[in-house]
């Protein structure tokens, strides 16, 4: 059983709506700014990339690392947050 952060729990608990990218687990202010600078300003835009990559863990982790230099822990937290949200709402 994996533990999740409060940020993860809050994100997965409700529809995504227009949440900023920094609401995603694993994405703080620094990574959030990097993502925004590359056009990924909203959580749903990152979700779109997650879905384009067919929810593939390795591809998403590599993409997030290459895109904004996320470390493996940050990328894994973000992946799990999106995967759990999809399980709940899609």
Mean pLDDT value across the chain: 95
Does 37 map to a domain?
yes
Domain that holds residue 52: 6-89
Within a domain: 50: yes
For the chain, what is the domain count? 1
pLDDT > 90 fraction of the chain, expressed in percent and rounded: 94
Residue of 35, 14, 22 lying closest to 85 (CA atoms): 14
pLDDT digits (tens, 9 = 90+) for 51-72: 999 999 999 999 999 999 999 9
Number of residues written out for the chain = 90
Q: Please enumerate in sequence order all residues whose Cβ is within 8 A of that of 53, keeping only pairs 6 or more positions apart, or say none.
A: 59, 60, 63
| 43-57: average pLDDT | 98
With cut-offs at 50, 70 and 90, classify the pLDDT of residue 4: confident
Whether residue 1 is contained in a domain is answered as no
**Can you give the pLDDT at residue 27?**
97
Query: Is residue 1 scored above 50 in pLDDT?
Result: no
CATH number at residue 69: 1.10.150.40
């Amino acid at each position: 059983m994996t533990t999740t952060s409060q940020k993860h729990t809050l994100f997965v608990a409700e529809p995504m709506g227009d949440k900023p990218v920094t609401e995603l687990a694993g994405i703080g202010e620094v990574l959030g700014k990097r993502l925004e600078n590359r056009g990924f300003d909203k959580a749903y835009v990152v979700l779109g990339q997650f879905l384009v990559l067919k929810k593939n863990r390795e591809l998403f982790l590599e993409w997030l690392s290459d895109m904004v230099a996320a470390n493996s822990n940050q990328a894994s937290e973000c992946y799990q947050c999106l995967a759990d949200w999809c399980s709940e709402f899609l």
